Amino acid sequence: MSILIVEDEKKLVDILKIALKGERYSVDVAYDGEDGLAKATKNNYSLILLDIMLPKKDGLTICRELRAREIHTPIIMLTARGSEEDRVEGLNAGADDYLIKPFGLNELFARIRAVLRRRKKTDSDVSKVADLVMDRKKHEVTRSGVVVPLTPKEYKLLDILLSNYGEAINRRKLIDHAWGPSFEETNNELNVHIKYLRNKIDGNKSKSLIHTIRGVGFILKE
Ligand code: CA
């Protein structure tokens, strides 16, 4: 689980960083709005903590721009402004929740867990890692904007790899997802299909996304 903090108050960032790392989240930081938007667009975070008052670009604008670009990473707005109007504005901009400063760390953790839980249920329609995009509504995969035609098995394998981005998926889990739990391999089917999938996704690209974890299975990561 990775969290991006977009916040210009260095002291608060330091506290959040230590606290979140203590909860075993990996943490990335942007100290101004432009850097925040760039990082949120380029990387695939589990969640973004987004301050409203920021240098270069404010949090509400960032939130709107991300949603306009079909980036649906969960966002919790951090705001010193607690009026109802401000909170409504944040939620209208596409934020999932908000926290009013100053807030306690336990409340922050509880909100993060709640947002991630909610998000898991709705499951996002679009997954994006680097320039690889899966749009589940359209049932379409693109890399660098070019459609990659996949067989149903390849699509299912990529789907589970993308849904668990950055985590090693063991062979059994991949087979269960693509063939079903009663399937037993007879001809190294998983490796064969992963090989086809890799050729299509990574074949002529300088940056490979699908990697083998020897003795375990596969992982999709940058
Ligand atoms: Ca601020």
pLDDT tens-digit readout, 31-89: 999 999 999 999 889 999 999 999 999 999 999 999 888 788 999 999 887 777 777 88
151 and 196 in contact (C-beta within 8 Å)? yes
Contacts of 68 by beta carbon, 8 Å cutoff, 6+ apart: none
Confidence (pLDDT) at 123: 56
Full pLDDT tens readout for the chain, 222 residues: 899 999 999 999 999 999 999 999 999 999 999 999 999 999 889 999 999 999 999 999 999 999 888 788 999 999 887 777 777 888 888 899 999 999 999 999 999 999 988 776 555 688 888 899 999 888 899 999 999 999 999 999 999 999 888 889 999 989 988 998 888 999 899 999 999 999 999 998 888 999 999 989 999 998
Domain 1-120 has CATH 3.40.50.10070: no
Domain ranges of the chain: 1-120, 124-218
- Residue 5 alpha carbon to ligand 1 centre in Å: 11
- Residue 27 alpha carbon to ligand 1 centre in Å: 18
- Residue 33 alpha carbon to ligand 1 centre in Å: 10
Confidence (pLDDT) at 159: 92
User: Strands, E, within 56-131: which ranges?
Assistant: 75-79, 97-100, 126-129
What is the distance between the alpha carbons of residues 165 and 140, in angstroms, rounded to a whole number?
18
- Residue 63 alpha carbon to ligand 1 centre in Å: 15
Whether residue 102 is preceded by a cis peptide bond, meaning omega within 30 degrees of 0, is yes
Q: Give 1's DSSP letter.
A: -
Confidence (pLDDT) at 120: 64
Tell me the fold of 124-218: Arc Repressor Mutant, subunit A (1.10.10)
Residues with CB under 5 A from ligand 1 (ion): 8, 51, 53
- Residue 220 alpha carbon to ligand 1 centre in Å: 34
Confidence (pLDDT) at 128: 86
What is the distance between the alpha carbons of residues 163 and 44, in angstroms, rounded to a whole number?
11
- Residue 167 alpha carbon to ligand 1 centre in Å: 33
- Residue 120 alpha carbon to ligand 1 centre in Å: 29
